[in-house]
Amino acid sequence: MLIRRTFVLGALGLVAAAAASPAARAQAAGSNTLVVATTQVPRHFNGAVQSGMATAMPTAQIFASPLRYDENWKPQPYLAQSWEVAPDGLSVTLHLVKNAVFHDGKPVTSEDVAFSIMAIKANHPFQTMLAAVEKVDTPDPATAIIRLSHPSPSLLLAMSPALMPILPKHIYGDGQDLKTHPANLKPIGSGPFKLIEYKQGEYYTLEKFDKFFMPGRPKLDKIVVRLVSDGNAALVSMERGDVQALSFVAGVRDIDRLQKAPNIVVTDKGFAGIGPLNWLAFNTRKKPLDDVRVRQAIAYAANRDFIVSKLMGGKAAPAFGPIAPDSPLAEANVEPYKVDYAKSAALLDSAGYPKGADGSRFALTIDYIPGGDEQQRNVAEYLRSQMKRVGINLEVRAAPDFPTWAQRVSNFDFDLTMDTVYNWGDPVIGVNRTYLSSNIRKGIIWSNTQQYSNPKVDELLQAAAVETSPEKRKALYSEFQKIVVQDAPIYYINVSPYYNAFSKGLGGLPTTIWGMMSPLDEMYWETPPKT
């Protein structure tokens, strides 16, 4: 989840490698090439069966999807030139463009759309995303009718490139397991770029698809994505111009350094769809955290303002609730838990935990995701000092690796833990999983690991998932957010500070809600790079 700086390679080594790469040589020769560096290493290139930024970025280039989204959360035509939602909300009809072909020349038809939707429903980790889909009818090659068991207002957003790549049925429909299909590493799509080279763990090269169905696109001839493990070396390469785009930058110092570089544009636009929230989670079934007053007391003592302004250098926006603030469904009018030590102490007293002779009330353990110092360990250490102010002894427990942390948290072997969880655009996709009592599933990370249960919250989320009126749906989610913040199974801290950096001279920057996880077919060189 987090972008980690592991410092495996030396900075000079990576810069030399980048300069020696085919992409760097092509750029030096003045070709229409973009070189991207990222720490997000994909397992493969099939976003139909794999979530996450590492897979979504190449998937959005290689595969087209039914729709795409702009920066205002508005759906735009893509493979579907138009669409209609039935008045009863029980079907969505897609009218496909008739000139789309896959990279092998085969036409894209409604059969491919139907196959892909059902494949994603069966294989994608976001099981709630297409839960309402029963089948997809294909009355003709250019029409796909998605049949639903109940209205699903999140479905249109789920048709984004990051979530619904349209696969070629003639390749993937051969009966092999889609999660291990050999085409996942040699994909054929209908997107603006085709994969022409992949050196595992080092780079992959995307080349312009000349038969892409959108006229005049893509505008770049080639994109080469360098997969880097050393964040500092990636910064050096960006500053030197050996790469012209650096994606998913999360380090506060790294962001500040790039913002000071004269030939680099740095933006935090392009992450609204992801909605990455950094928070403190409580195990609500362990004493004393089973008492809402104790959870609220911890929230009042935590001091979000200091964490965001000082520990994160003002690079991260504060978060106050379960829906990220950039979402049109976010509710601003929730309890902010402004730091108040007196209120915190009073809540602990009323919960039956007075201070002892040594000034302490009880002890707890806080975990954190390893590898993310700024968003995780540093905040955990700061919270340890904050809790002392109100008589809580907080021990910081490190995990040697991510699997160890995930095993502890998913098996409810924790008191408090730092965590980072994504909204993924619509609450049905990325929010509900954390709060539905039906999703308390032992052994599954990023489920309802807080073991939080409130029948009213279940009712609101279930109602909002099928509500087709935007106004009524927003009202349901507003009530949900107010209740959850009051119940405090989680103390929300900040929006994880993801940024993208680009060389000056690049136009058509990806600032939609999906950013670098959307097609990069509009990027171009306003000012050609120096040769």
pLDDT value for 15: 38
User: Are 13 and 88 in a shared domain?
Assistant: no
Please report whether residue 50 resides in a domain: no
Residue 373, pLDDT score:
84
Q: What is the DSSP string of 173-203?
A: -SSS-GGG-GGGTS---SSSEEEEEEETTTE
Domain match, 354 and 393 both = yes
What is the domain extent for residue 105?
Answer: 63-175
pTM (predicted TM-score): 0.90
> Residue 376 belongs to a domain with what CATH number?
3.10.105.10
pLDDT at 529 (0 to 100) = 60
* One-letter amino acid for residue 455 of the chain: P
Classify residue 196: in a domain, yes or no. Answer: no
Cis before 66? omega within 30 = no
Domain count for the chain = 3
Q: Which residues contact 40 (CB under 8 A, 6 or more apart)?
A: 3, 52, 53, 54, 57, 227, 247, 248
Does residue 90 sit in the same domain as residue 158?
Answer: yes
- Between CA 489 and CA 279 the distance in angstroms is 10
Q: Domain containing 77 — which CATH number?
A: 3.90.76.10
Residues 12, 75, single domain; the answer is no
Provide the CATH number for the domain around residue 10. 3.40.190.10
Helix (H, G, I), strand (E, B) or coil at 362: strand
What is the reported pLDDT for 10? 31
- Residues 268 and 292 reside in one and the same domain: no
Q: Is residue 223 part of a domain?
A: yes
Sheet holding 193-199, edge to edge: 193-199, 203-208, 222-227, 33-38, 245-249, 499-503, 264-267
Q: Has residue 195 been placed in a domain?
A: no
At 527 the pLDDT is 77
What pLDDT was estimated at residue 175?
95
Q: Does the residue 206 lie in any domain?
A: yes
| Angle formed at CA 516 by CA 515 and CA 517, multiple of 5 degrees | 90
Q: Are residues 280 and 295 in the same domain?
A: yes
What is the rounded end-to-end Cα distance, in angstroms, of the chain? 37
Whether residues 429 and 366 fall in one domain: yes
Domain membership flag for residue 439: yes
Residues 6+ apart with CB under 8 A from 95: 80, 81, 82, 83, 142, 143
Query: Does 457 map to a domain?
Result: yes
Q: What is the model's pLDDT at position 73?
A: 97
Q: Do 344 and 427 fall within a single domain? A: yes
Shared domain for 82 and 154, answered yes or no, is yes
Q: Scanning the structure block, which residue is given the tokens 């720490």?
A: 39
pLDDT in tens, the chain (531 residues): 334 433 233 333 343 444 444 344 444 434 799 999 998 889 899 999 998 889 999 999 999 999 999 999 999 999 999 999 999 999 999 999 999 999 999 999 999 999 999 999 999 999 899 999 999 999 999 999 999 999 999 999 999 999 999 999 999 999 999 999 999 999 999 999 999 999 998 999 999 999 999 999 999 999 999 999 888 889 999 999 999 999 999 888 999 999 999 999 999 999 999 999 999 999 999 999 999 999 999 999 999 999 999 999 999 999 999 999 999 999 999 999 999 999 999 999 999 999 999 999 999 999 999 987 888 999 999 999 999 999 999 999 999 999 999 999 999 999 999 999 999 999 999 999 999 999 999 999 999 999 999 999 999 999 999 999 999 999 999 999 999 999 999 999 999 999 999 999 999 999 999 999 999 999 999 976 654
Q: What is the pLDDT of residue 21?
A: 42
Of 160, 175, 190, the position where a domain reaches its end is: 175
412 and 431 inside one domain: yes
Residue 51: inside a domain: no
Same domain, 352 and 464: yes
Sheet holding 362-367, edge to edge: 392-397, 362-367, 416-422, 276-282, 490-495
Query: Could you please report the per-residue DSSP string of 107-156?
Result: BP-HHHHHHHHHHHHHH-S-TTTTTTEEEEEEEETTEEEEEESS--TTHH
Q: 506 and 487 in one domain?
A: no
Structure tokens at 205: 């090269």
State the Cα–Cα distance between residues 381 and 144, nearest whole angstrom.
53
Instruction: From residue 446, give the alpha-carbon distance in Å to each of 36, 156, 280, 373, 430.
Output: 29, 24, 13, 20, 9
